[in-house]
Structure 1
Amino acid sequence: MKTSIVFLLCVSLFPGFSRGRVVGEDEAGFAECNVFFPGQVPPEGFTEPFHVKICQRYNKEPRFATLYSTKDKIPLYSAFKYTKPAQNEEESWLVEPQVDDPETALQEMVREAEVAGAVANLGANQALTSDYVGSGYERGLLNPSLLNEEDFQVATYTLTNAVPLSPPLRQSWHRHVGLVVEQALVPHCPGKDQLYLLAGAVPSSVQVKGKLSVPESLWLAACCDAPEGWSLALVKKVSDENSLQDLTVGELEKQLLAGVHLFKGSCGEDNQSREKTEVIRQAVGRIQSGEQAGRSDNQEAKESGLVRKVAGIIATPFIKLLELLIYVFVELVKFVFYLLWLVVRRVAGTVVDGAHSLWRGLVAYLQAISTVLISIPCDVGRVFVNIFLGFLDLVQDVASLTYRILSIPMGFVLHLAAFPYRSLCAIPAVLRDVAAGLWGTLSLVVDATAALLHGLYYVAGHIAKRFVPKVSSED
């Protein structure tokens, strides 16, 4: 599981190594892989719902296109172009996660072992390596790796480009396709980029482990899309590994599904040069003749090697025992190395954890020391500030006390000096008050005398009215 997670992280960090993607239903044809078809038009007539279109990519570039059958779990055809013969073959088999899990985040072909636990229902719609183990069949490439080089070759080693073939049939198919393409087709097409190749398989009812359909026949269709273009088809029957029949593309289409058209406009089949077609067929015939001559030589070699086969049969049990011992020894060595690796990893983990703890303690100690060292100048500064403030308070108290002591005689002297001024200034006010008092007393005496006289007058008048008789007017 850890390996899967690491691989998924690598895929997300390095998207340039994508190795294929399932083409969506809303995309035209095979999307960017349409370049592998004449006029960028894929074959017509393959319309079953279990047909999946795959654009096989590697290093950001499309390498070939494949139509895959999730029912038969084999490719129906692969469309590609010839690059040049491969110098070496290094197998690294891949699977397409999107065929089994359309919702997966993996948009590229990946190694099966690295996504075994990361893709839901892996193997439900496509073949896996385990389907071939012990079955007697090998993975035969429709787009042979020997016709490709570098990145194109790496992209061919995907299980979506492989069909189950017997070992002899697999070898003869790859050999025949390689010889026909290199010796008969490429030399008679003006430009290598104008030669379009379709390699396909016709599924049969025979299945491998009840899952993979064994092809009934294999076929190759070629189209030279040039002004003087031509097309040609080859068919190999699975029942006869040495068979190789050449025919027209139209004749091949009749052997496939009804309504199938492999190339747009039949790739000039109606008006192609018969002379050029005959030359190509003669080249194919020479390849077939050479293969037959080679088979005769092989037959003689087989007869001469009968004794060696018998010896091989006798020696097989001992060889198998030796292989078993070697296998046990190798597994034991692997186990010992794995155990040592676990011990080293545990010790290394302990050392790393201890070093990490020591580092954290050292950092904490340095932080505490730094805090203390930084606080010392601050505390000293606060002490000096407090001393200075205390000194200012002392000076303020001394000044206040001195002011109070000096203010006592100064006030007395000021009051004593102001006494004559205040006394002389008070004489006019005192004389004014005395004059006001005398005038008030005099006014009071006069008012009292007047009131007394008025009272006496009033009493005398009242007595006179009471005791003196009134004089009548008649008297």
Structure 2
Amino acid sequence: REWTMKTSIVFLLCISVFPGFSRGRVVREDETGFAECNVFFPGQVPPEGFTEPFHVKICQQYNKEPRFATLYSTKDKIPLYSAFKFTKPAQSEEENWLVEPQIDDPENDLHEMVHEADIIGTVANLGANQALTSDYVGSGYERGLLNPSVLNEKDYQMATYTLTNAVPLSPALSKSWHRDIGKVVEQALIPHCSKKDHLYLLAGAIPSSVQVKGKVSVPESLWLAACCDAPEGWSLGLVKKTKDESSLVDLTVGELEKQHLPGVHLFKGSCGEDKQNQEKKEAVLQAVSRIRSGEQAGTTDNQETKHSGWVRKVAGIIATPFIKLLELLIYIFVELVKSVFYFLWLVVKRVCGTVLDGLYSLWSGLVSYLKAISMVLISIPYDVGRVIINIFLGFLQIVQDVVSLTYRILSIPVGFVLHLAAFPYHSICAIPSVLKDMASGIGGTFSLVIDATAAVLHGFYYLAGHIVKRFVPKGSSDD
């Protein structure tokens, strides 16, 4: 995981160093059409009728600019069509093949097309939904471009070399397709469209049941639809059968839709098919016919040349082993160069990873050091404040204790003097109360004596009466 993170960091650095890196953005479902790539469709309305869940919309970009649009089938692993405009004929061809990571792994953070070798191990399920270079190796098929590189220059041409714009074609068919489309666009379509930038081109493929390595569908036919959305406009369709590389059938866009793309509507308003300039359209068809006739004548001449050139055949047979040997040596040399560059790339990647780790560690240490210093500097005023407050509180406590002690010392004699001074006053004031209490006591004593005497006398009286009652009656009865 650590190696993967380092690789991603190095990859992002490479993107920042080389701003010309190609981008192919998978269009989200909540976006309209092909988002910023809608400019490659008349009225900015893409074809209708391609509604399968395995259809993926891709806005092909390069140098942060949209270059063409592609509808890709993750089921067939080929593009169903690419929409583009003619720029200029290519001056040179430089192949630089790329893949789209988000088709296989929508959750990854790579929103740009990258070289296949750079993302092996970093993208989940790589190749599950798209074709890879390994699918073409040793298959006998080439990566044929729907949007041919020969019709583009510079950045537009670089953007075409993506596997999301390629279908499996035999070498002869790939060459024939690129040659035919190039001639038709340059010699028949462009000269008869009053506004070149209003010539909209759709190049597509119809998948067959034949598959390369049981994965990538081989198209049963290729088609081109053109719309000149300008005054005196017109539209045209062309179909090339993959089983006949020399075939090139012209038909209307409506016929193309009906015969080969049922349920599909390629151009908004059929590119004004009911109001087209017939003269312009006839001129285009004648130009296409001339191109087709020239190719057929060229094919016949080639056959005659083959029959008459037996000497060259023999020479070719003799030279073939040497040519193969030379090809083998060139192949070995190229592979060695590739291996050297790959080794250098690994070294650079490892060095960059080490440098980045060192920089990260240095940065982490610096941040920690600055953080510690900051905390110490911040804590100094706080600690000083606490010490000052504690000193002040201690001083106040000392003052409070001194005042309390002084008060207690002074309160002892003052109380004693006050009590001593108040004694005579309290003593004199108590005399009346004492006399009153003594009088009350003496009176109570006399009252008690009187009561006791009365009680004794009453007792004697009661006793005498009882004795008299007891003995007097007995004396009277004896008499």
Please tell me whether residue 57 in structure 1 is matched to residue 57 in structure 2.
Answer: no
Q: Which residue of structure 2 aligns with residue 125 of structure 1?
A: 129
Which segment drifts farther, 219-228 or 155-164? 219-228
1:270 counterpart SS class: helix
- What do the CA deviations read for 1:91-119 (whole angstroms, capped 9, x no partner)? 00010111111011111111111112221
Q: Deviations over 1:322-376 (max 9, x none)?
A: 6556666777798899999999x99x99xx9xxxxxxxxxxxxxxxxxxxxxxxx
Query: Match of 2:305?
Result: 301
Please say if residues 46 and 266 of structure 2, whose CA atoms lie closer than 8 Å, have aligned partners that are also in contact.
yes
Query: Among residues 187, 190, 195, which one is paired with 1:191 in the alignment?
Result: 195
Query: Would the alpha carbon gap of residues 261 and 325 (structure 1) be closer, same or farther in structure 2, given more than 3 Å must change?
Result: closer
Which of 252, 257, 265 is the aligned partner of 1:261?
Answer: 265
Judge conservation of contact 1:18–1:107 (CA < 8 Å) in 2.
no
* Distance in 2 (alpha carbons) for counterparts of 1:218 and 1:337: 37
Q: Deviation of residue 276 (structure 1)?
A: 1.5
1:146 match: 150
**Kept after mapping to 1: 8 A contact 2:88/2:153:** yes
Q: Is the 8 A contact 2:207 2:218 kept in 1?
A: yes
Cross-structure match for 1:234: 238
1:324 to 1:91, Cα distance in 2 relative to 1, 3 A: closer
**Taking structure 1 as reference, are residues 3 and 301 closer, same or farther at Cα in structure 2, changes over 3 Å only?**
farther
Alignment of 1:169-188 (within 5 A): 169-188=173-192
Q: Deviations over 1:273-331 (max 9, x none)?
A: 22211111001001111111211222223223433334433544454456556666777
Aligned pair count? 349
- Runs (5+) with no aligned partner, structure 1: 353-475
Asked if structure 1 preserves the Cα contact closer than 8 Å seen for 2:22 and 2:159, the reply is no
Q: Residue 4 of structure 1 contacts residue 117 of structure 1 at CA under 8 Å; is this kept in 2? A: no
The 8 Å contact of residues 199 and 227 in structure 2, kept in 1 or not, is answered as yes
Matched, 1:250 2:272: no
SS of residue matched to 2:287: helix
Which residue is 2:92 aligned to?
88
Q: Does 1:79 align with 2:79?
A: no
Q: Does 1:108 align with 2:112?
A: yes
Partners of 1:94 and 1:340 lie apart in 2 by 20
Alignment of 1:48-447 (within 5 A): 48-317=52-321, 319-321=323-325, 323-324=327-328
The offset of 1:135, in angstroms, is 0.6
Greater CA radius of gyration, 1 or 2? 1
For 1:385-436, what per-residue CA distance to the aligned partner results, in whole angstroms no more than 9, with x for missing partners?
xxxxxxxxxxxxxxxxxxxxxxxxxxxxxxxxxxxxxxxxxxxxxxxxxxxx
Say whether the 8 Å CA contact 1:18–1:108 is kept in structure 2.
Answer: yes
Specify every segment of 5 or more residues in structure 2 that has no aligned partner in the other structure, as ranges.
356-479
Aligned to 1:6: 10
Contact 1:4 1:114 in 2 (8 A): no
Report Cα offsets for 1:252-282 as digits up to 9, x if no partner: 0012343200000000111212221111100
Change (3 A) 1:326 1:213: closer
- Structure 1 residue identity aligned to 2:154: E
2:25 aligns with 21
1:46 matched to 2:50: yes
CA distance in 1, matches of 2:7, 2:57: 29
Q: Which amino acid aligns with 1:238?
A: T
Segment drifting more, 297-306 vs 109-118: 297-306
Q: 2:126 corresponds to which letter in structure 1?
A: L
Equivalents in 1 of 2:342, 2:15: separation in Å? 27
SS of 2:275's partner is coil
Which residue in 2 is equivalent to 1:421?
none
Q: Describe the superposition over 1:196-230 as per-residue Cα deviations: whole angstroms up to 9, x where unpaired.
A: 00000000001111111110000000001113211
* C-alpha separation in 2, matches of 1:340 and 1:184: 48
Indicate how the Cα distance of structure 1 residues 151 and 277 shifts in structure 2: closer, same or farther if over 3 A, else same: same
Distance 1:138 1:169 in 2: 9
SS of structure 2 residue aligned to 1:107: coil
Moved more, 285-294 or 333-342: 333-342
SS of aligned partner of 1:303: helix
Could you tell me which amino acid in structure 1 is paired with residue 243 of structure 2? S
**Cα gap change, 1:29 to 1:210, in 2 (>3 Å):** same
Structure 1 stretches of 4+ with a deviation exceeding 4 A read 1-5, 12-16, 321-343
Instruction: Specify whether residues 329 and 229 from structure 1 end up closer, same or farther in structure 2 by C-alpha distance, changes over 3 A only.
Output: closer
Counterpart position of 2:419: none
* Cα separation, partners in 2 of 1:187 and 1:69, compared to 1, 3 Å: same
Tell me the alpha carbon deviations over residues 168-215 of structure 1, each in whole angstroms, 9 at most, x when there is no partner. 100110011011101111111111111000000000001111111110
Amino acid paired to 1:90: E
Tell me how far 1:19 sits from its aligned partner: 1.5
Quickly say closer, same or farther: Cα 1:187–1:323, change in 2 above 3 A: closer
Report the Cα distance in structure 1 between the residues aligned to 2:341 and 2:53, rounded to whole angstroms.
Answer: 50
